[in-house]
Structure 1
Amino acid sequence: MRYYRTVAGGEPRLVARDGDDAYDLTAARSSVTAFTDLAHVADVAGESPDAVARGLFEDAVAVDRPDAADCAAPRVDEVWAAGVTYEISEQAREAESGMPEMYLDVYEAERPEIFFKATPSRTVGPDEAVGIRGDSEWDVPEPELGIVLHEGDIVGYTVGNDVSSRSIEGENPLYLPQAKIYDRACSLGPCVATPAAVGDPHDLEMTMTVDRDDERVYQGVTSTGEMVRTCEELVSFLTRHNRIPETTVLLTGTSLVPEEGFTLQQGDRIDVHIESIGRLSNSVTVV
């Protein structure tokens, strides 16, 4: 199933989409307003979130499929990210840096690059504006498969955009936090899709387009099958000696990298689509 956190009318609600049908789960249980609430109940009951949701269908209200404009980002406590998990990403970060060998070392190493990305206050959802830094000259979107974790276990997947300043990171790799962590630097949505809905997360088509003034300035397509590490491997390194919050998203890296010289601009429109999950659309603003 796919779970959407809607905000139509100003009150958060959780809508479950099961095939062509959609159900307002909050109408059945007022305390269930986000996927993390459902995952918590499932964890206590020893069941899957889908099984718990189906148990609420009888008391839920049938609704129309949620519109992206009515959806908010999944409610999570932290967002982390993995880097250099695709060959093209390794090559791009070599090109931007004066220390290219360090990225090749990480790409080939046993230990992946894992870094903190965002708090909820720095994260936006569908149809909201992602940010590019006012002190950066080279800014790019990074479309990524996001792993949704509850108490450290994989319970679903979402679409993520790890917006980044390549000019700041390229100046010095130690500037990575400033290149990655700032207001509106992360977008998540439009839903959380459970493993049963996604199937093999390492075989999903991913596309991204960027439009500017009614002109398409970037278009790319790839597959998560190009990722050199598995989702389970990345999660295992995130959770080693690191106590993560109840609900966490781990972004898994990107293999769609605009050509050198491309930079996001105020007013651009970014659309990221991942097969079996959905489409995440955002405008761009300078922060």
Structure 2
Amino acid sequence: MASDEETAYDLTATEPGPTSFHELASAAALTDDSVDEVAAAWTDDAPTVDRDVLEANLIRPLDPEEIWGAGVTYSISQEARQEDSSGGLAESYLNAYEGDRPEVYFKATPSRTVGPDEAVGIRGDSEWDVPEPELTMILYKGDIVGYTVGNDVCSRSIERENLLYLPQSKIYAKSCALGPCISTGDTIGDPHDVRMELTISRDGDTVFQESTSTSEMVRSVDELNEFFQRYNEVPELTALLTGTSIIPPDDVTLEDGDDVAIEIEGIGTLENPVELLDS
């Protein structure tokens, strides 16, 4: 699907149209055009789609071969982590915040990732679980070709217990969500100046809500992308989450049945229910 401010188009119904964002990005690379330019070339022959129907049937907009994350990229996230004094966490995060090298870590595979309106998971062996709203880069052959909304769900109590447990706190079933769509740089403008808001709802009531701006980032998207690719065999299509400055306090934890909404200016709102996972 492709859309402008007024109309949505089914590019997959054109001949020979792309069947996925991966194919769209590949066509753009082959013609040395932008993704927007290639999509626009197909819209003349593409049937339109009712936007209400489209929004009611959203699916994950891409299947990146790997999803990675970056951490301690906002000053406020570092301040929050200074409270994590156990296990040497505060010193480690401070070193990452002040150091030349950012924190970059493996996050998920497609099988561990959900799309809009699908349930994100929380572990049964964790006592403090939070969503982490993040502007997410979409990379094709290492180049930034778009952005989406990412939810880097984290078992903070496991992470806080010992820094070596970070992979278990980050990488598990349904620990990542992407969506609702992919916006290009032309659409969102400066990626370092977009508004982001997180809302956690429970039984129709808001239990947590906070907003921020990517202008609070202390790393650039280009810097994070460059470190991500250093000495790394990067798949053709990948996603890189850029970190968060919104971390709910200790007394707010996700529960089974909650709803999480992450809105990023110029992209849209990613909404997911929460599911307590079986072991």
Q: Which residue does the alignment assign to 1:186?
A: 176
**Structure 2: distance between partners of 1:63 and 1:238:** 37
Contact (CA 8 Å) 1:97, 1:171: kept in 2 or not? Answer: no
Contact (CA 8 Å) 2:76, 2:245: kept in 1 or not? Answer: yes
* Alpha-carbon spacing, 1:95–1:67, altered in 2? closer, same or farther (3 Å): farther
Q: CA deviation at 1:167?
A: 0.6
Q: Which residue does the alignment assign to 2:155?
A: 165
Matched, 1:18 2:8: no
> Could you tell me which amino acid in structure 2 is paired with residue 219 of structure 1?
Q
Q: Which residue does the alignment assign to 1:54?
A: 40
Q: Residues 141-184 of structure 1, C-alpha deviation per residue, up to 9 Å, x if partnerless?
A: 00000000000000000000000001101010011100000000
**Structure 2: distance between partners of 1:214 and 1:21:** 32
Q: Residues 56-110 of structure 1, C-alpha deviation per residue, up to 9 Å, x if partnerless?
A: 1122111122534412112211100000001121122232341111111110111
Q: How many residues align?
A: 273
RMSD: 1.1
Uncovered stretches (5+) of structure 1, i.e. residues with no partner: 1-14
**Structure 1: distance between partners of 2:234 and 2:17:** 23
Equivalences for residues 210-229 of structure 1 within 5 A: 210-229=200-219
Contact (CA 8 Å) 2:197, 2:262: kept in 1 or not? Answer: yes
Contact (CA 8 Å) 1:24, 1:61: kept in 2 or not? Answer: yes
Uncovered stretches (5+) of structure 2, i.e. residues with no partner: none
**Structure 1: distance between partners of 2:20 and 2:84:** 39
Task: Give the alignment partner of residue 242 of structure 2, picking from 240, 246, 252.
Answer: 252
> Could you tell me which amino acid in structure 2 is paired with residue 200 of structure 1?
D
Q: CA deviation at 1:46?
A: 1.2
**Partner SS for 1:144:** strand
Q: CA deviation at 1:29?
A: 3.5
Q: Which residue does the alignment assign to 2:54?
A: 67
Q: CA deviation at 1:31?
A: 5.4
Sequence identity percentage: 55
> Could you tell me which amino acid in structure 1 is paired with residue 172 of structure 2?
Y
Contact (CA 8 Å) 1:126, 1:190: kept in 2 or not? Answer: yes
Contact (CA 8 Å) 2:193, 2:213: kept in 1 or not? Answer: yes
Task: Give the alignment partner of residue 35 of structure 1, picking from 10, 21, 36.
Answer: 21
